[in-house]
Amino acid sequence: MVERAEGVIINISSYWGRHGEGMVAPYCASKFAVEGLSRSLAQELPKGMAVVALDPGGSIDTAMLQQCSPGEVETAPSPEAWSRVAVPYLLKIGPKENGKSLTCPRAV
């Protein structure tokens, strides 16, 4: 991608990568790192490329959610339902979004 000076890197972040929360400090720290890495890398990429930190737009029904927050599973979309909303959104991301923290529209 760098050799061609085109492409988009999407780093998966979280709401908790932008807002701290008690009882999940290690998870928050890892997502804050994703946000900082994305902003720093954005300054190193050649023109024509982009890197963004993406908050999926809420919880997704994954094994982690089922284990850590079972009360949220009922209202969380499946990965498949999320992808139907996320993929068209992701395909529109380009160089003008370089370095941004984005949030995917909510899947219903």
Whether 11 maps to a domain, the answer reads yes
For CA atoms 12, 106, 74, 24, give the dihedral sign. positive
Based on the structure, what is the number of domains in the chain? Answer: 1
Whether 87 maps to a domain, the answer reads yes
Concerning whether 15 is annotated as a catalytic residue, the answer is no
Print the domain residue range for 39.
7-103
Please answer whether residues 20 and 62 qualify as being in contact, where contact means their C-beta atoms are separated by less than 8 angstroms.
Answer: no
CATH number at residue 65: 3.40.50.720
Query: Catalytic residue among 6, 18, 24, 27, which?
Result: 27
Over residues 11-28, the pLDDT tens digits come to 999 999 999 888 889 999
Whether 2 maps to a domain, the answer reads no
* Stated pTM of the model: 0.90
Whether 108 maps to a domain, the answer reads no
Over residues 77-108, the pLDDT tens digits come to 999 999 999 999 999 999 999 999 999 999 76
Q: Listing from the earlier edge strand, what are the strands of the sheet with 49-55?
A: 7-12, 49-55, 101-103
